[in-house]
């Protein structure tokens, strides 16, 4: 069974909104591009998305890839493309060759120690206040 057939109407609509937002972001960020937008800006957006390594979180990448996949798959339902067409290639890349997610910043050991020390001092201060209030 096709994965698109299993999606709820809310999920389909959500992916359509995400794909539209991503196309708008692509157009906004590439406004000075000399190439005119083709009839299908979703294809150019998909290529752009796949080249954006280290930009988004894993969750965002998964959502954007699914949204673009849904839109390109929808195009393939209405138009006929050869088995080695760009669109078919994009579907495979959106499934298997997604961009690398952004790395989470790591906390330094010094900062961790400072935060732990502040918490400890604060806890002691709160204990003393309680003791004075009760006694």
Ordered mean pLDDT values, 10 residues apiece, the chain (135 residues): 70 94 91 67 91 91 94 80 78 90 80 88 86 70
Same domain, 70 and 125: no
Same domain, 35 and 87: yes
pLDDT at 38: 62
CB 42 within 8 A of CB 75: yes
pLDDT at 39: 65
Q: pTM above 0.85?
A: no
CB atoms within 10 A of CB 23: 22
Same domain, 26 and 87: yes
Count of domains forming the chain: 2
Same domain, 83 and 122: no
Same domain, 88 and 124: no
Please report the DSSP string for 66-85 in residue order: HHHHHHHHHHHHHS---TTS
Same domain, 81 and 133: no
Same domain, 73 and 120: no
SS3 content of the chain, % helix, strand, coil (to 5): 70, 0, 30
Same domain, 28 and 84: yes
Same domain, 8 and 34: yes
pLDDT at 1: 41
Q: Which of 35, 19, 118, 20 is nearest to 68 (CA)?
A: 19
Same domain, 68 and 131: no
CB 56 within 8 A of CB 101: yes
CB 101 within 8 A of CB 57: yes
Same domain, 77 and 59: yes
Residues 9, 23: Cα–Cα separation, whole Å: 21
Report residue 21 as tokens.
């937002």
Q: Which domain holds residue 133?
A: 107-135
Q: At what angle do helices 86-96 and 58-78 cross, to 10 degrees?
A: 150
Same domain, 47 and 69: yes
């Amino acid at each position: 069974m096709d994965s698109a057939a299993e999606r709820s109407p809310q999920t389909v609509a959500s992916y359509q909104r995400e794909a539209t937002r991503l196309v708008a972001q692509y157009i906004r960020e590439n406004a000075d591009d000399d190439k005119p937008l083709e009839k299908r800006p979703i294809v150019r957006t998909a290529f752009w998305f796949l080249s954006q390594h280290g930009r988004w979180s894993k969750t965002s990448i998964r959502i954007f890839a699914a949204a673009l996949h849904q839109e390109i798959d929808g195009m393939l339902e209405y138009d006929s493309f050869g088995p080695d067409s760009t669109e078919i290639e994009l579907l495979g890349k959106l499934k298997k060759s997604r961009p690398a997610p952004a790395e989470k910043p790591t906390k330094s050991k010094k900062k961790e120690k400072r935060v732990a020390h502040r918490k400890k001092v604060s806890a002691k201060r709160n204990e003393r206040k309680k003791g004075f209030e009760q006694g």
